[in-house]
Structure 1
């Protein structure tokens, strides 16, 4: 099924041909800048994870209620991308990026003074909207400049740069907690946002020329969204990407409680163990570049989802029976996260390759699906018990359903591969 030459839609091919792909040092510079910008989302999500128990104690909120602040962030990331993506197709990439970063900085400063969990959750949602600009614009710029396997390779490299964030974020948060309270985490996020604002202004050129921009009208935006959601292959790959991301957010939302409360790790040890999972994700995403020289993105996604489901079933069995203790949790979890490192760059690259004429809107719909589902998963882990089995069940479920969805649709007619 992967040997059939299938072409991308004509509009996508035209959009690709309008821009020459960067090479050499220019390619390296673009990827580093986009990686730095896209890291704001993971930093916003992960940096306060060690502080979740402290926030609950300080604001007198239950664990599941505190996790709703993470849900608020993910909702903001999802909704923000739906709004910012089409806007970036109309006015270009730089303006939405700059405005979104300013919003993130303002919300981060306001979090310093949040008097209760409800206000904190609202401000976290605004943080998410601001961070959404960096994420959707980075994906759209990749689609503006790269196509096919080159886009999948660029996304894999982005994950290398972006992956530093989840490795460092919990450790940075833990260090801040040693020096002060959880509110200091949001002060640090404000400073990081300001640094990335400078990067956005001075280091990123506009990648969408005026002649390729969409009309500044409401109906064309709706028409573009309708075109996207009626493209079965795009919807399939968006669902696969969202389910893969849901497995990742299961780990993010529950890991601080499982590792600190169930296994008794302190905040610094939690940061180290959490970083091990990020290393697995990053390492897989970089090996993905090697595999792309031999296998198609679709083949890699299939194999990775099978591996993730199998490792997830082992994780579920070990955590449910209590076998292996901490190592019985970490090792299969590491395997699941590693498998997701192959899915996360390839599924979006396949989806984006079909709609280069509306890369911002397509990236927005992809991101909204990923973070919208993540917003539902975050409190689900808490409702199921905030323990190892709860995380294992939600992660395995996401991988298994993604595999089932991809398999069923391919059987019905097959997904298309981008022209390369």
Structure 2
């Protein structure tokens, strides 16, 4: 299990790495390309939208041809997008090539989840997913710092060359170290009828939709922070790019540290109960931070500390909901992973877009949007997630 977790974790980190390493450069990109904050945030939204939409292609395609070929194609598209970003002359071109990057990066989000379902279910699946997230945690903990250090040595465009190298390394791992996990006799022919039937099954499955939406609103809070955090931390709180990277890493430690406890706690309390309690903790943390913000009591330490707690609760929610959502859909695991991932990316991108007009460089709009995500996740969890509606492994 450790070997496959390491391979899938390193591959899955390509997408987050392309986001996290990029964050410290956002204010510099705005200056260099003479772009507004909203326009620079648009490069992140474009990445997320493409990231979500293309998952609908990779998952069903992998159900037909196996998991490896789509990985090769997706990573190649990501490389082409990264090369385009290196030479982008305007914010418009940068946004377009970030969209291409997102089209490719989606493959290393959707396929690892399908591969996990090919191999394991229940607590074993949660344990493998948590191990993968532990490997991915290298990205949010080190990528922003690496980006900040790179900016001390050269300009922001150089980081896209780093993305080319990381994607190339992932291609080599997929070719020589990753086994094919979907046997020929388990593959499903892709056609309109099968896709529509599969989507109908998933969209009318109460447990799948509930778990997907809870994960989506949790992920959306990350996206809001990713799009706004560097401006808040460097603008309102006066941090340097390196200081922001350290603060960002502390928040990531909360998430990925807690994710390692998801499977053991799930075995003890039950996976459904873990989801419901952790969502409650996440919502309470975000609402507390909003109350502090409205009272004018948020400083750097309050922000980092409360987000550390909130992300810790999400560390229990995300891997558990990912596994439970696919539990009963092993025959269409690729489509289920794609549809779930697409819904999560679309909701995340929508939240970033909605908060954009209200963002003024201060913490309060960002905090309010994160709290809204917490409340929505709690609402779905309370109204839709019941033990009798979820898989037996819960």
- Secondary structure of the 1:337 match is helix
Residue 333 of structure 2, aligned match among 350, 355, 359: 359
Q: 1:41 to 1:290 in 2, by over 3 A?
A: same
Q: Residues 177-219 of structure 1: CA distance to partner in whole angstroms, max 9, x if unpaired?
A: 1111111111111111111111111110100011100113232
Q: Is the 8 A contact 1:100 1:131 kept in 2?
A: yes
TM-score, normalising length: structure 2 = 0.97
Q: Is the 8 A contact 1:354 1:418 kept in 2?
A: no
Q: Which runs of 5+ in 1 are unaligned?
A: 1-26
For 1:126, the equivalent position in structure 2 comes to: 100
Q: Which moved more, 1:320-329 or 1:337-346?
A: 320-329
Q: Which runs of 5+ in 2 are unaligned?
A: none
Q: Is the 8 A contact 2:124 2:263 kept in 1?
A: no
Give yes or no for the alignment of 1:153 onto 2:127: yes
For 2:271, the equivalent position in structure 1 comes to: 297
- Secondary structure of the 1:159 match is helix
Q: Is the 8 A contact 1:253 1:381 kept in 2?
A: no
Q: Residues 136-192 of structure 1: CA distance to partner in whole angstroms, max 9, x if unpaired?
A: 110000000001111111111111111111111111111111111111111111111
Cα RMSD between the aligned structures? Answer: 1.4
Q: Is the 8 A contact 1:350 1:418 kept in 2?
A: no
Alignment of 1:5-404 (within 5 A): 27-385=1-359, 386-404=361-379
TM-score, normalising length: structure 1 = 0.91
Shift of 1:235: 1.1
Q: Is the 8 A contact 2:60 2:190 kept in 1?
A: no
For 1:5, the equivalent position in structure 2 comes to: none
- Secondary structure of the 2:101 match is helix
Distance of 2:81 and 2:298 partners within structure 1: 42
Residue 407 of structure 1, aligned match among 378, 382, 389: 382
Shift of 1:221: 1.7
Distance of 2:31 and 2:54 partners within structure 1: 30
Distance of 2:392 and 2:81 partners within structure 1: 39
- Secondary structure of the 2:54 match is helix
Distance of 2:9 and 2:190 partners within structure 1: 29
- Secondary structure of the 2:269 match is coil
User: Aligned residue pairs: how many?
Assistant: 393
- Secondary structure of the 1:108 match is helix
Q: Is the 8 A contact 2:116 2:125 kept in 1?
A: yes
Distance of 1:69 and 1:179 partners within structure 2: 23
Q: 1:366 to 1:184 in 2, by over 3 A?
A: same
Distance of 1:151 and 1:387 partners within structure 2: 40
Q: Residues 237-293 of structure 1: CA distance to partner in whole angstroms, max 9, x if unpaired?
A: 111111111111122111101101110100111111100001000111012232122
